[in-house]
Amino acid sequence: MDKVWEAGLRKGKLEIQSLPIELQSCVSSGDGVADHYGGRTNFTFVEQRDDRILILEKIDSDYAQAHTAINMTGGYGTGILGSAINELASSLPEIVNRSVTTNDEFHSVERRQLVSNIKKMIASHTGSEEDQWSITFTSTGSEAMDLALQLVYLEGLNLTTGVNSRHKKDIVLACHGAWHGWSQGPNQLLDRKQFTEGVPRIRDLEVVFRLFAFKGVEKI
């Protein structure tokens, strides 16, 4: 595998037949990750060392181009544990064995510490106070939007009587169009247009799309 890494560092071409047998099959099988146009991607993620990942791109039936890149794909494992961070590696067994592994529906010391740190960061960046913010965690952006819309709907609604005490129109402002780092990330490499073309309309709510621009939002 060292020779493949060497090729990756210089972006060299390799004969597929020169690769290890299992890697040959993976690169040439045509069973890569499906794109959104009925085809398959040509990239095979081979191995990671430190913060670099080794990638093989199939050029034709005989050759593959080797690349190295910083792993910023945003997988859950990377997001939770980091990407081959030496400072974490030595402590990982203790963390795994002792930490409480629950979701956001259960409070814990670890969760409180994380929430507190995030509130401090937000307050510092916005010039506000920590106690002005409420934090919850979700697995995806879609889940976060779903929860936000539920909270908007339930505010002022008496669940016992069904009476809604609100009289003004609600405004839900959602950032879309490859925000939060994805604009330079793997979604664009794979041409996943559904991440960049906005969110669907929501029944009974007026939806105004403002792509990559906040000018005039105060007039909505």
Asked if residue 205 is part of any domain, the answer here is: no
Asked if residue 192 is part of any domain, the answer here is: no
Counted domains in the chain: 1
Asked if residue 60 is part of any domain, the answer here is: yes
DSSP-assigned letters across all residues of 145-187: HHHHHHHHHHTTB-TTT--B---SPP------SSTTTGGGSHH
For residue 128, what are its two tokens?
A: 């506000």
Beta pairing partners, 43? 57
Asked if residue 188 is part of any domain, the answer here is: no
Asked if residue 39 is part of any domain, the answer here is: yes
What are 110-140's pLDDT values in tens digits?
677 788 898 999 999 888 998 888 787 777 7
Q: Is 11 left (phi over 0), alpha (psi -120 to 50) or beta?
A: left
Where is average pLDDT lowest: 100-109, 153-162, 192-201? 192-201
43 touches 37 (CB < 8 A):
no
Q: Is the pLDDT of residue 91 over 70?
A: yes
As a whole number of Å, the end-to-end CA separation of the chain is: 57
Asked if residue 163 is part of any domain, the answer here is: no
Beta strands at 63-70 and 52-58: parallel, antiparallel or unpaired: antiparallel
For residue 55, give the nearest of 85, 34, 26 by alpha carbon: 26
64 touches 56 (CB < 8 A):
yes
E strand or H helix at 64:
strand 63-70
Query: Predicted confidence band at 13 (pLDDT cuts at 50, 70, 90)?
Result: very high
Asked if residue 122 is part of any domain, the answer here is: no
The whole domain housing 9 covers 2-70
